Amino acid sequence: MKTKFLNKEAKIAVIGLGYVGLPLAVAFVQKGFQTIGYDTRAKKVQSLVAGVSDIADISNQTLQACLDTNAFELSASPEILHEADAIIICVPTPLTEAMEPDMSFIRSAMQDISTYAKEEVFVSLESTTYPGTTRELICAPMLEKGYTLGQNFFACYSPERVDPGNKQFQTLNTPKVVGGVDAMSKELGEILYGQVIDTIVPVNSAEVAEMSKLLENTFRSINIAFINEMALLAEKMEIDIWETIEAASSKPFGFMKFTPGPGIGGHCIPLDPMYLSWKAKSKNFYSRFIELAHETNHLMPEKMVDHAAEALNLHQKSINGSKILLVGMAYKENSNDLRESPGLHMYEQLVLRGADVSFCDPEAPTFRDADGNMQHSIPLNYQAFALYDLVVIVTPHKVFDLKQIGTESPLILDTKNALKDMFQEKKWAYGKVQMKQVTAKGVK
């Protein structure tokens, strides 16, 4: 196995071709490995076979170049896994309605692997999960099938660190944590990932690797919640939180800059802390920090809707019946990723309050609402912004001309402080998050 990895003679299979799996599979192809992409969604596979990528970080041209090498085989049939020497699992790990881990996708992947895997195989899990998953859900099924750990079966956990839309850090140059279930698995994991990733960070167990992923994103969740709470406090004290943050950021040590916003999104930050909290409870440990951070962050979309109502009230309008435009629906700038986006939560709450809601997002032009109906972005026509009672900047993509938005919109709620210092004389904005209020003479 080691020789196959070093000589790039191993065939690599990636299960799950989403934001994590597709870029990883492409990386293996580009580094000279015969690669299999397996996804249970037949339509997804058909689209990829046709050279059409739905992942912003992988262009159609990049995908087609990989297909043209004949080193990239795509399939929706699990039988193809029998060809693989190494199998990497990149499937979703959502939370249930009870905020508990949903391991069904990992279990399904392991059912396929244990049924079709070769007599000798390396398996790596990348999906976000709780400490102990690799031993419990990856090793146990294979050992039950008669495999022997460290001899003909090897298992690692290597957490994904994908940041959709990040042009600086992508699959190849983002350091990769690798933790093996045993010493040989760790060594093989280091060798395999070291063939495609610039920097490998080996750790001494799968559990350390699993915990590191949760620690990274719980750290971010707690700090985002803290700055969101500080924004709400500053609002009560009539202090500009944005200027306060810039002042604090001038300290060259001991301070890390976080900024407030309408909430958190993506697959990791909203979910990972709850995986850790759930696992902690099984050890009779209760993390108040995690729970409080989760509560604060998930209340922010509702706070923004309250601000929208206040902005309209200042102009003698009710939120019920008002035309409201949400600008940017993806959870982060310059991405098409809508997972857990605060914009989606704002949309639903505004609709429930009776608003006539539209959205504009060229990066993420469609989504399904809570009733399952497909919603479509309006065209990016700045003159049309004048037709709305309120324009809410949720995600300020680079594609947007913020000055035109500020010029054309009669009333704006700017949740990201995107229009700072852009307009000084115009009656254009209200947003308690950034401490600017409308007056007849301008912004104060």
Q: What are phi and psi of 35, to 5 degrees?
A: -130, 140
Distance from C-alpha of 123 to C-alpha of 12, rounded to nearest angstrom: 10
Cβ atoms < 10 Å from Cβ of 231: 24
Token duo for residue 245: 């943050």
- Reported as a single tens digit per residue, the pLDDT across 87-139 is 999 999 998 888 889 999 999 999 999 999 999 999 999 999 999 999 999 99
DSSP state of 135: I
Residue 442 has pLDDT above 50, yes or no: no
Enumerate domains of the chain plus CATH numbers.
2-204 (3.40.50.720), 205-444 (3.40.50.720)
How confident is the model over 305-309, as a mean pLDDT?
A: 93
Work out the percent of the chain whose per-residue pLDDT is above 70.
Answer: 95
Catalytic residue among 66, 139, 156, 268: 268
Token duo for residue 163: 């940041």
- Exposure string of 22-57, with b = 16+ CB inside 10 Å and e = fewer, is bbbbbbbbbeebbbbbbbbeeebbebbbeeebebbb
Spell out the residues 6+ positions from residue 154 whose beta carbon is closer than 8 angstroms to its own.
1, 121, 122, 123, 180, 181, 182, 184, 185, 188, 189
Q: Is 268 a catalytic residue?
A: yes
Distance from C-alpha of 222 to C-alpha of 227, rounded to nearest angstrom: 9
- Reported as a single tens digit per residue, the pLDDT across 142-199 is 999 999 999 999 999 999 998 877 889 999 999 999 999 999 999 999 999 999 999 9
Distance from C-alpha of 383 to C-alpha of 216, rounded to nearest angstrom: 43
Q: What is the pTM of this model?
A: 0.88
- Reported as a single tens digit per residue, the pLDDT across 381-438 is 999 999 999 999 999 999 999 989 988 998 999 999 888 877 654 333 434 333 334 3
The pLDDT of residue 97 is 85
